[in-house]
Chains A and B, each alone.
Chain A
């Protein structure tokens, strides 16, 4: 890299300035915690270590999502200034979710690239039924699609097993790790090759079918530490499995960048995707209209595109607050790699048109470089991402860390004070710390029993509500369908939004989570009160010594994207219309009823058994940690009360 290149890269990374400032703050906090730990009493070790681990593990993630060929991989490369990192092609071959970890602090020993494979069970299920998507299409009676998915998967199985031979079974359930990131390696795992080229001996994509996820750890000077950018396979791919991979993963990032192609910005497909993301989760969504370099008048037409998207969003009642940016990952990559002289004539023409009024001197390649970067919109995207990460997960993290460290400091001070005899009352020194620990553990057990019984009621309520929502949706959908057929026959588009059901289920889930949060708060308060009592009466110390305690922050639970089905099913297009063309009215109704029931039953099951139960576990672990901390505190108090006595007897 020339010196000029590195200056350019440095400038590029400045888009992330706000995120870097955030990390400086977090680093300060971490240093403070570390300093504190050096002098604080031993009993604070555990909470302090927990806090440090939490800071270290903090890695906000940003998912890049969109239709096939919107330019997601290209844009991701442009975002981190590594123009050749992720492969991109004129055909959609991205097949795996790739997590690019920037300046991560948790790099596995000696590993820069890690590829995980499906395990044997997942793989078998996939090839037997076409995975969840195949099962769904089959149930829905979309025979053509179900057959197609099965065919696609069967083809995939045969070619993969044939290609890999004996190696195949050894790979399942394992992973491949590499000490450095090499392009030839990446291409083998995360990108389907062109089938014709693979036949001709190309190794591109040999492992792609089997690969479940890819993690690349990359250290870049000047870029934020601890940021994970995730590239996803495009939705609306004719190889339908890929879309499913993406939909399953949406819920894993708080910030989503939806990438649209300027050629066809905001189709019904994009809208369906946006609905899934917005309706299911309160998340931070950004829209980036990519590939504007290919427009005849990039500046003027981008303006029209943004206006048109706004109109559509408004009409659909979807977030006015969604920020829409325009630009070109291609321009940015050309600028970053210093290859502006190789820019396609069309893109160069677009760039010239973009700066029509300003008319800079494009005979200098440095000028072209600067201008391409400026017009690419990538730095604006940096800033937008940084703002959202900081405002969202970032600030929550800071608040969390601050309140926890305050609590630890307060507990430490209290023990210090007592041991220096600073308490107004003498306190009792005749209680063994093991006895006191037993009492705290009893408190913990009691609180747990209570919490569990509350949760059981909540769970039953949730199941009941979900089932009622399902039943009423099925009924309303079927009767709406009946009257629709009555009025319009089969011609008019049928449109009974599954998002209604999704909304009801989401609200039931959110209510349950809110109640869970309150149950958690109740349990924390209970622990606090009981421990306070213990301190006052058993240890005979002033009760208000603990002061105002901030309870530990409970995890926020949001409804999962499991609620989302596939984008194609969500559309009112081909699938639904074809559905009506077969069979008599009553059989259509019957099949429709069965379809929705079969589709929603596993949703309810997953919402309760996977997501709600996981939320309960998380909440409990917060309470449990709190109990542990309180137990340590009380024991430390107990010891400091008895310490002077020991000293005396020793003397």
Chain B
């Protein structure tokens, strides 16, 4: 709350830990979130140490267990057991809002559990991925129960690989069961297909939301990462200098969503700025004030691009009173029938490297 009450005071960038059992689609998700094929995605467990993705600098180094930094030229040369974490700079819009920490899957017999354990302390919040076809088993529950409470205050469960379910009814059945069984651990539970650009966009907005509303950033500092950040303070607006690599066709959804009002859905589909203004009405600002603020922000921006739109909204939200900005949407609980666009999207679309 303090952040919002004082306006956009500099606060350390939140860190989102993405985790789950191996082969739950974490790497595919992260590649989708950052819009490029950075992490290897394979059907067998991928022997990667934890990866810390940041927006700033040009880092590609690993920190070993003694805290010594080693430059890394290629991901192929990453030892697993001796690495605390691999730090990598990536130009991705989502990383303007938070850092992402990827972890090796738990329950992977080829990766010792402490690889995973050691980096938990750096994170502020957690996203647990569980593949839809075998979602939410006792081993996952047991692991979640052992995680620090601070990390779990606003945790998200993503039921991934929704595209592997035969039909919408099956999806709903799985969602119902998992919700019944996992809601004690997670504030949001969401079904997604990482092959769907729309779903990826939803996850991006959700993460931005979660990061905004985190009351406290509990992660402990890692000096080597902060050093990279300090050396490279990004300009406020980079505009067209970005080589945006996503092909996220859909406008950003959900940022201000707090119900499934069909009207709001229509609005959202016709352009996210409308959705934004829906929300503004509740605030102390009048519409004209908001409109003029908005117009000045979006000048020269391409709002069909989610990253740009997100940034604009962010700026706008920084200017509006707390009552409005602090009222985040409750992330939609699960996909409604027919809403997933999946199946025929080939994996390449994900990264969509232009």
Contact = CB atoms under 8 A, between A and B. Distances in A.
Interface of A: 67-70, 89-91, 144-145, 194-196, 236-238, 240, 243, 261-269, 271, 291, 294-296, 301, 304-305, 307-308, 311-312, 315-316, 344-346, 491-493, 568, 571-575, 577-578
B23 A90 contact: no
A294 B181 contact: no
B58 interface: no
Nearest to B132: A90
Nearest to B133: A263
Interface residues of B, number: 46
Nearest to B111: A268
Contact of B139 (A236, A308, A312, A578): A236
Given A238-B136, A294-B133, A578-B146, 19 more contacts: A68-B134, A69-B133, A89-B173, A91-B174, A194-B176, A196-B176, A236-B139, A238-B141, A263-B161, A266-B109, A267-B109, A268-B107, A271-B109, A345-B343, A345-B344, A493-B117, A573-B146, A577-B146, A578-B145
Contacts of A304: 42-44
Contact of A267 (B108, B145, B177): B108
15 contacts: A144-B145, A195-B180, A196-B176, A263-B131, A263-B134, A265-B23, A265-B44, A267-B107, A269-B137, A491-B114, A491-B117, A492-B114, A568-B138, A568-B142, A577-B146
A493 B114 contact: yes
Of B107, B118, B164, B181, most buried by chain A (CB within 10 Å of CB) is B107
A34 B117 CA distance: 68
A315 B111 CA distance: 12
Contact of A301 (B43, B118, B163): B43
B143 interface: yes
B347 A296 contact: yes
Contacts, number: 130
A194 B176 CA distance: 9
A478 to B, nearest CB: 22
A572 B139 contact: no
B113 A493 contact: yes
Nearest to A91: B177
B343 A346 contact: yes
A267 B22 contact: yes
A294 to B, nearest CB: 6
Contacts of B43: 262-263, 265, 295, 301, 304-305
A90 B137 CA distance: 13
A91 B173 contact: yes
B154 interface: no
Contact of B44 (A70, A268, A294, A305): A305
A568 B141 CA distance: 11
Nearest to B134: A69
Contacts of B131: 263-264
B343 to A, nearest CB: 6
Contacts of B161: 263
A305 B44 CA distance: 6
Nearest to A312: B109
Contact of B110 (A70, A264, A312): A312
Given A263-B134, A491-B114, A493-B112, A90 B173 contact: yes
A106 B220 CA distance: 67
A211 to B, nearest CB: 21
B214 to A, nearest CB: 24
Contacts of B347: 296
A240 B139 contact: no
B259 interface: no
B336 to A, nearest CB: 17
A237 B177 contact: no
B173 A261 contact: no
A308 B109 CA distance: 11
Contacts of B110: 311-312, 315
Interface in B96-132: 106-110, 112-114, 117-118, 131
Nearest to B344: A345
B200 interface: no
B113 A573 contact: yes
A195 B44 CA distance: 35
Contact of B142 (A90, A305, A574): A574
A345 B344 CA distance: 9
Nearest to A269: B139
A307 B45 CA distance: 11
A195 B117 CA distance: 36
Q: Which 10 A-B pairs have the closest CB atoms?
A: A574-B142, A308-B44, A574-B146, A90-B170, A264-B23, A267-B107, A69-B134, A301-B43, A236-B137, A268-B107
Contact of B138 (A196, A240, A301): A240
Contacts of B144: 574
Nearest to B115: A493
A491 B112 CA distance: 12
A304 B133 CA distance: 20
A334 B45 CA distance: 30
Contacts of A572: 113
B207 interface: no
B34 to A, nearest CB: 21
Contact of B137 (A144, A238, A265): A238
Contacts of B192: none
Nearest to A69: B134
Nearest to A89: B173
Of A195, A267, A311, A578, most buried by chain B (CB within 10 Å of CB) is A267
A246 to B, nearest CB: 13
B21 interface: yes
Contacts of B174: 90-91
A237 B146 contact: no
Contacts of B24: 264
A327 B66 CA distance: 45
Given A263-B131, A264-B22, A573 B138 contact: no
Interface string B13-43: 0000000011110000000000000000011
Given A236-B139, A237-B137, A568-B138, A294 B164 contact: yes
Contact of A575 (B133, B142, B344): B142
Interface string B137-160: 111011111100000000000000
Of B44, B131, B165, most buried by chain A (CB within 10 Å of CB) is B44
B346 to A, nearest CB: 9
B42 A194 contact: no
A295 B112 CA distance: 27
B166 interface: yes
A636 to B, nearest CB: 62
Contact of A268 (B108, B114, B117, B176): B108
A291 B131 CA distance: 14
A137 to B, nearest CB: 11
B252 to A, nearest CB: 28
B31 to A, nearest CB: 15
Nearest to B343: A345
B40 to A, nearest CB: 12
Interface string B318-349: 00000000000000000000000001100100
A261 B44 contact: no
Contacts of B23: 263-265
A109 to B, nearest CB: 40
A296 B163 CA distance: 12
A107 B261 CA distance: 59
A237 B140 CA distance: 10
A322 B341 CA distance: 41
B169 to A, nearest CB: 9
A568 B138 CA distance: 8
A238 B133 contact: no
B134 A573 contact: no
Given A91-B173, A267-B108, A291-B133, A237 B138 contact: yes
B106 A90 contact: no
Nearest to A70: B134
A574 B148 CA distance: 12
Contacts of A291: 133
Given A266-B109, A268-B139, A261 B133 contact: yes
B270 to A, nearest CB: 31
